């Protein structure tokens, strides 16, 4: 399964899912997204950055932050699904 803030893609296959490998991949994605979100929040909370950055950049950063939060939520939901299936 792959997710973005706009869609989820699930490709069913005959092989069984390696739950441990999928869980590890999802945890890595969760960590990456958490760090990315924290960095973007720090930038948006910095009044110096906000005063100097063009509005176009600030808006793009806010949009990306919203997308990352949606992606993180989906990854966390998938982790819960895997944990409840085992």
67 sits in which H/E element: helix 55-85
pLDDT band at 4; cut points 50, 70, 90: low
Domain 2-85 is found in CATH 1.10.287.380: yes
Exposed, middle or buried: residue 71 (CB in 10 Å: 0-12, 13-18, 19+)?
Answer: buried
Q: What is the largest CA-CA distance in the chain?
A: 54
Q: How far apart are CA 41 and CA 35, in angstroms?
A: 10
- Predicted TM-score of the model (pTM): 0.79
pLDDT (0 to 100) of residue 54? 97
Mean pLDDT of 55-67: 97
Tokens 């005959």, residue?
14
């Amino acid at each position: 399964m792959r997710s973005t803030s706009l869609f989820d893609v699930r490709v069913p296959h005959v092989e069984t899912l390696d739950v441990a490998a999928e869980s590890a991949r999802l945890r890595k994605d969760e960590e990456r997204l958490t760090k990315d979100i924290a960095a973007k929040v720090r930038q948006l909370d910095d009044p110096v950055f906000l005063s100097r950055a063009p509005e176009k950049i600030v808006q793009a950063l806010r949009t990306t932050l919203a997308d990352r939060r949606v992606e993180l939520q989906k990854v966390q939901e998938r982790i819960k699904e895997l944990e409840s299936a085992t």
